[in-house]
Structure 1
Amino acid sequence: MTNPDPKPAPARPRLLRHLPLALIALVAVIGAVTLREYISFETLRENRAALLALRDSNYLALAGGFVAAYVAIVAFSLPGAAVASVTGGFLFGLGPGTALNVLSATLGAIAIFLAARAGLGQVLSARLDASEGRLGKLRDGLRQNEVSVLLLLRLVPAVPFFVANLLPALVGVRFATFAWTTALGIIPGALVFTSIGVGVGSVFDRGGEPDLSLLWAPQVIGPLLGLAALAALPIALRAWRARRGI
């Protein structure tokens, strides 16, 4: 007696895999419409005295709340990531503020990565693994230069943060590699935004707004591009060796 043909996998579990990413997209749209006016430097200006008082009375509680809020901003691609980074410097100073900013942004990025990999990432990664021809060469190139590409995505300021979180999940980047390159690659930018936050109190006292254009100043963008070029060097060397047959 032969066994009946196995039933196809139910569609519902497959759809459930896409639920986390769909939820992120939904919250991102709602947040973009409703929260833009609330997560702002004006809000920080109006509440700075209360925040400083809370920091002085319960440092750990404020630090934990800050990390939770920043993780939510990054994980759901809400507006205000730059404001959060500046706030970290304002409340906690350059060293602790940078550490909290990097930790929060990394955890939020990991949340997006895992949500994307559980859904679309599984499908696209499997297709990429099974592909040949140009797609196969692209797959092999990405795998060989995984670390360099991930660091470039973090170091080049023109790449939106959420794009640098989604793309690695969709092409099957290893989780551990994604996590440590994210934490390492965002440190230079975090230092810049945190340092702006350290002096934001005096800016508010003068009635001004934090100048985020500092990121594009030659003394800032130059070293960032230098680090990006250093990250791209292994890619260039592998391409040169491949052409020379070395």
Structure 2
Amino acid sequence: MSKSKLIVLAIVIIGIGLFFAFGFHQHLTVDGIKNLYAEQIGPMKENNPFMLIAIFFVVYVFVTALSLPGAAIMTIIAGLIFGLLTGVIIVSFASTIGATLAFLISRTLLGDWVQHKFASHLKTINEGIEQEGGFYLFTLRLIPAIPFFIINLVMGLTPIRVLQFFLVSQVGMLPGTIVYVNAGASLSNVEELSVTGLFTPGIIISFLLLAAFPWIAKGIVKLIKVKQSDQDIE
């Protein structure tokens, strides 16, 4: 293994180790967030909101870059803390940067080995990625059933260009980001996390959107494919 790969591997291992050693994963729960909000997030939001945004952004990038658990709940938390518009902007860029770093880590550590080891099996996939990699990635980003961290890692093993991956991911993840952040923003209007408090129109609509989003995404993908087929025929 080359020196650069060893450095990347060491950074990944140290990063994951620190994440669990310092108990950051314990904060990514409802109780953890409530305690953290009362002790640190709330006061910082009042006194230094830009510092809070910067810290949240860096943590989000860190979590997604190392493919750690918690990106989905952090997206909801972004809406809870920052509201819909600011939350979407923060998560949209942080998630795309983190995804691209995870993509590059996968490509650096495993790309050459996988392409060499399974060259014959990957020939068709590589050709497909080269021909319509952007559209293929876009459809994957719209399907919540496929975890985003898996897409990041797998795409790193293909010949898709880094800039193309970044731009398509930015656009493809945006609808899901809006839905999840909106759910968090709706929760921010609830004074108490009780059964009666949660049954408000905004929250009901938000969670209906969360449930319906996979079907909406499939409809969008199907519509794009139909239009693409019509263009090919013409």
Q: TM-score range by the shorter chain?
A: 0.7 to 0.9
CA distance in 1, matches of 2:191, 2:152: 33
Structure 2 unpaired stretches of 5+? none
How many residues align? The count is 225
Distance in 2, matches of 1:113 and 1:78, equals 14
Indicate the structure (1 or 2) with the bigger Cα radius of gyration. 1
Q: Aligned letter for 1:24?
A: V
Bigger mean CA offset, 85-94 vs 34-43: 34-43
2:127 is aligned to 140
Conserved 8 A contact 2:57-2:94:
yes
* Counterpart-to-counterpart distance in 2, 1:158 and 1:141: 22
Whether the aligned pair in 1 keeps the contact of 2:115 and 2:122 (CA below 8 Å) is no
Check the 8 A contact 2:9/2:109 in 1, yes or no: yes
TM-score, normalised relative to structure 2: 0.80
Aligned equivalents of 1:237, 1:170: Cα separation in 2: 31
Q: Is contact 2:61–2:98 with CA below 8 Å preserved after alignment?
A: yes
Partner of 1:227: 220
Matches within 5 A, 1:30-45: 31=19, 35-45=24-34
Match of 1:108 in 2: 98
Show the 5 A alignment for 1:1-246.
Answer: 12-13=1-2, 16-17=4-5, 19-21=7-9, 23-24=11-12, 27-28=15-16, 31=19, 35-49=24-38, 50-125=40-115, 131=119, 135-203=122-190, 205-207=192-194, 214=208, 216-218=210-212, 220-233=213-226
Deviation, 1:231, is 4.6
3-state SS of paired residue (2:188) = helix
**CA displacement at 1:17 relative to structure 2:** 1.8
What value does the CA root-mean-square deviation take over the aligned residues?
Answer: 3.2
Seq. identity, %: 25
Distance in 1, matches of 2:6 and 2:226, equals 36
SS where residue 146 of structure 2 aligns? coil
CA distance in 1, matches of 2:132, 2:90: 29
Structure 1 residues not aligned, in runs of 5+: 1-11
Give TM-score scaled by structure 1 length: 0.76
